[in-house]
Amino acid sequence: MMNTLLLNLNEVQSLLTIEDTVEAVKAGYMAFNRGVVQMPPVVSLMAHKFNGEMDFKMGYSEQEDIIGIKMAGGYWDNPKKYNLPSGLAMICLFDAANGVPICILDGTLITGYRTAAAGTIGALCLARKDAENIAMIGTGMQARLQVMALSKYFNIKNVRVYGIEGQEKYVEEMQSQHPDIHFSATSAQEAVENAEIVITATASHNALVYDQWVKPGTHINAIGCDMEGKQELDPSIFMRAKIVNDSRMECKKRGDTQHPFKAGHITDDNIHAEIGEILLGQKCGRENENEITIFDATGLSVQDINTSLFVYRKAIKNNVGKNIEVFDVNI
């Protein structure tokens, strides 16, 4: 009972698929909107002298009786200074019945997958079913995972990618991994004007997608903006869009929704739903072919908890991982 399962990145990777992540995240969103998830605000400790920060994201799924915490670093100089990734994340799951830490696992891949799953769930709820053109704003890891995930659920034909760097590399690598999709590097405008689904996955602090480019029927997944001051969308888009948040409270504070909200362009009444409300059938998704829809996803602790819990259970079943003893057995 006092053993803790340790799962490293390779082991997590061997156990987790994007389809399973989509199901785990869906269940998490619904649990959140059933009111059986406690999620206090994220705690950030800023290490300015190292150009970094540590973020602690805690939650308690009363549905699963699991408490979880993700301890995630954001250190932008890591690659060049330490040959380490900028985003190291470790997740710990506790049995909510007694406080025993049941699993410590690498959170890097889980963060990537659960964020990609968020975008896919947003598109499944809000995008046109016949969407086949993607505008990808961003060229990083998450810009890759978003397309990978979406391609399992939509018949994607074209991905037009825009980024301030790495466009060619993105096209080359993604083209070889997804031969059925045509990838091309374009301007942001060309990508957005030709898309049914627009995905923003950058660390931008300024709008990258402008209102006049967005045609009727477009769905936008606003993924990158998860902090005060970050921004990817022209706030004007919100004034003619159906707005869906993962969490109203979080999106108004640190999602792209913060900008039109703080400027007074929209109020609570303009936020159509939280995504879990749509999944639960309490609110509608897309209602016609001409709506512009936005899913603003800041990332919720319950996504990490549910995805980690899936990995933990599969690891136990498949006898993967290593047991460690944080406490002594005879404590």
C-alpha span between 61 and 68 (Å, rounded):
8
By CB under 8 A, tell whether 8 contacts its own copies.
Answer: yes
Within 38-67, the residues that bind its own copies by CB under 8 A are 38, 40, 43, 45-47, 49-50, 52, 54, 56, 58-60, 62, 65, 67
| Minimum separation from the CB atom of position 116 to its own copies (A) | 19
User: Distance of alpha carbon 173 from its chain centroid, rounded?
Assistant: 22
How much helix, strand and coil, in percent to the nearest 5, is found in the chain?
35, 25, 35
Nearer to its own copies, 55 or 234 (CB): 55
C-alpha span between 324 and 3 (Å, rounded):
6
Angle of helix 18-34 versus helix 301-318 axis, rounded to 10: 130
171-210 per-residue burial string, b: 16 or more CB within 10 A, e: under 16: beebeeebeebebebbebeebbbebbbbbbbbebeebbbe
> Which range binds its own copies by CB under 8 A, 2-10, 25-33, 263-271, 272-280?
2-10
Q: Which amino acid, residue 90?
A: M
| Minimum separation from the CB atom of position 195 to its own copies (A) | 33
| Minimum separation from the CB atom of position 54 to its own copies (A) | 5
DSSP state of 65: T
Nearer to its own copies, 27 or 69 (CB): 69
Nearer to its own copies, 217 or 299 (CB): 299
By CB under 8 A, tell whether 32 contacts its own copies.
Answer: no
User: Distance of alpha carbon 115 from its chain centroid, rounded?
Assistant: 2
244-281 per-residue burial string, b: 16 or more CB within 10 A, e: under 16: bbbbbebbbbbbbbbbbbeeeebeeeebbbbbbbbbbe
Within 130-159, the residues that bind its own copies by CB under 8 A are none
The token duo for 190 is 């060309």
By CB under 8 A, tell whether 331 contacts its own copies.
Answer: yes
Nearer to its own copies, 130 or 325 (CB): 325
| Minimum separation from the CB atom of position 48 to its own copies (A) | 9
Within 73-132, the residues that bind its own copies by CB under 8 A are 73-75, 78, 81-82, 84-85, 88, 90, 92, 94, 96-101, 104-106, 108
Nearer to its own copies, 111 or 221 (CB): 111
Cβ-contact 303, 118 below 8 angstroms: yes
By CB under 8 A, tell whether 9 contacts its own copies.
Answer: yes
> What separation, in Å, do the N-terminal and C-terminal C-alpha atoms of the chain show?
12
How far, in Å, are 91, 143, 181 from residue 152 at the CA level? 27, 15, 12
Cβ-contact 268, 248 below 8 angstroms: yes
Catalytic residue among 26, 57, 70, 230: 70
- Please give the size of the binding site for its own copies, defined by CB under 8 A: 55
| Minimum separation from the CB atom of position 327 to its own copies (A) | 6
| Minimum separation from the CB atom of position 10 to its own copies (A) | 5
Nearer to its own copies, 88 or 280 (CB): 88
Cβ-contact 251, 258 below 8 angstroms: yes
49 included as an active-site residue: no
Nearer to its own copies, 4 or 293 (CB): 4
Residues that bind its own copies (CB under 8 A): 1-2, 6, 8-10, 38, 40, 43, 45-47, 49-50, 52, 54, 56, 58-60, 62, 65, 67, 69, 71-75, 78, 81-82, 84-85, 88, 90, 92, 94, 96-101, 104-106, 108, 322, 324-328, 331
User: Which residues are catalytically annotated?
Assistant: 70
